[in-house]
Amino acid sequence: MNAADLTAVARQLVAGDKGLLAMDESIATCNRRFAALGIPQTEPARRAWRELLITSPRLSACISGAILCDETFQQSTAAGAPFTQVLAAAGILSGVKVDAGAVYLAGHPGETVTEGLDGLRARLAAYVRQGARFAKWRAVIAVGDRLPTLGCIDANAHALARYAALCQEAGLVPIVEPEVLMTGGHSLSACRDATECVLRGVFDQLQRQRVLLEGMLLKPNMVLPGLGCPAQETVDAVADATVDTLMRVVPAAVPGIVFLSGGQSGELATARLNAMNLRRETRGARLPWALSFSFGRALQHPALELWRGEAANVIPSQQALLHRAACNRAARRGAYGPAMDAA
Ligand code: 13P
């Protein structure tokens, strides 16, 4: 894929107020979420859940792309249709998580580096042959006493940039995901400082590795206080801190920013995204990139709680997914209000 094609796909993923459905939890993470709800932790149960998600009627009204893990990427519906073909038929682009997960970073207690570069070129070529149009790699950054360190930021930024360059070489739009975690008691300003530092490091490495900024998407955290911080901030304070931080460090050439939800409730993640997009209108602060969503838990969790592994619950569960997707689509226009959820 050439530069024009990469740019077109990156733009398509954020066009029309749509966003991404992140459904690429690893087998271990998916099993953990199933266990919490008493759902069997088996391959057939994971397959059934992912089939429920991608066959939700009218999903493509709000969702432009779905991110799958390798297991899901290879799976088919009960009727035998490959998931990637079901998505393509619905007009939804298929993406795939290609990192191999985070491991402890030597010499850096409490920090991790994401692995998966070895053999990546060949794996990307195989995913392209199977219909992938974009990919994802997640780096995980902890905030704490003297964390994150520069060693952790450098190692993760370098890996993200090597991954992104390999994706573009293969013809895949890279989603670059450096996640500053919500875990901990840190303040909003600590998250802001960490996020700014991480994003500076990431864009520095992306440019050194000659990544086409127009042909990628950034998937960052929102700038938030840690879950254990006594001072939880208002929706507007989070929206302002997030947009201000991104304005400082994300080049205008990047077509879109697609937030992760990171453990926020569905309603809060939507309200914060809405406030960021509203800010553009009320403050006259025109933003250079689309501000969209690539939520996992904030889209799936209400639906998973309704499903609980029971075939009889498929339709209400799909309705819950579609409702959250519609709320987030409205948030892209600054048109979401709590009344949408009350109804
Ligand atoms: P959450 O929205 O649940 O954080 O998941 C997004 C994701 O893709 C994490 O890698």
Strand partners, 144: 147
Closest protein CA for atom 1 of ligand 1: 296
Q: Alpha-carbon distance 215 to 211, whole Å?
A: 8
- Residue 75's region, left for phi above 0, alpha for psi from -120 to 50, else beta, is beta
Task: Judge whether 86 and 68 are in contact, CB under 8 Å.
Answer: no
User: Is 64 part of any domain?
Assistant: yes
- Give distance in angstroms: CA of 242 to centre of ligand 1: 17
- Give distance in angstroms: CA of 2 to centre of ligand 1: 29
- Give distance in angstroms: CA of 89 to centre of ligand 1: 25
User: Is 343 part of any domain?
Assistant: no
The count of domains in the chain is: 1
At residue 272, the pLDDT reads 98
Does the model's pTM come out above 0.85?
yes
For 130, the domain range is 3-333
User: Is 282 part of any domain?
Assistant: yes
At residue 279, the pLDDT reads 83
User: Is 293 part of any domain?
Assistant: yes
Which amino acids bring their CB within 6 angstroms of ligand 1? 22, 138, 177, 260-262, 295-298
At residue 167, the pLDDT reads 98
pLDDT per residue rounded down to tens, the chain (343 residues): 699 999 999 999 999 999 999 999 999 999 999 999 999 999 999 999 999 999 999 999 999 999 999 999 999 999 999 999 999 999 999 999 999 999 999 999 999 999 999 999 999 999 999 999 999 999 999 999 999 999 999 999 999 999 999 999 999 999 999 999 999 999 999 999 999 999 999 999 999 999 999 999 999 999 999 999 999 999 999 999 999 999 999 999 999 999 999 999 999 999 999 999 998 666 666 899 999 999 999 999 999 999 999 999 999 999 999 999 999 999 999 999 999 998 6
User: Is 341 part of any domain?
Assistant: no
219 is catalytic: yes
Closest protein CA for atom 10 of ligand 1: 138
User: Is 342 part of any domain?
Assistant: no
User: Is 55 part of any domain?
Assistant: yes
Report DSSP letters for 45-108, one per residue. HHHHHHHHHHT-TTGGGTEEEEEE-HHHHT-B-TTS-BHHHHHHHHT-EEEEE----EEEPTT-
- Give distance in angstroms: CA of 179 to centre of ligand 1: 9
User: Is 107 part of any domain?
Assistant: yes
From 25, 137, 156, 264, mutation site for ligand 1 pocket: most ligand atoms within 8 A of C-beta:
25
Q: Which two tokens stand for residue 288?
A: 């250079």
What phi and psi, each to the nearest 5 degrees, are found at residue 203? -70, -30
SS3 assignment for 146-172: CECCHHHHHHHHHHHHHHHHHHHHHCC
Residues in the chain: 343
CATH, residue 257: 3.20.20.70
Question: Which H helix or E strand runs over 56?
Answer: none
At residue 283, the pLDDT reads 65
Task: Judge whether 174 and 137 are in contact, CB under 8 Å.
Answer: yes
At residue 318, the pLDDT reads 98
- Say how many C-beta atoms besides its own lie within 10 A of residue 92's C-beta: 21
**Where does residue 163 rank: exposed (0-12), middle (13-18), buried (19+ CB within 10 A)?**
buried
Instruction: Identify the active-site residue in 25, 51, 111, 177.
Output: 177
What phi and psi, each to the nearest 5 degrees, are found at residue 132? -70, 145
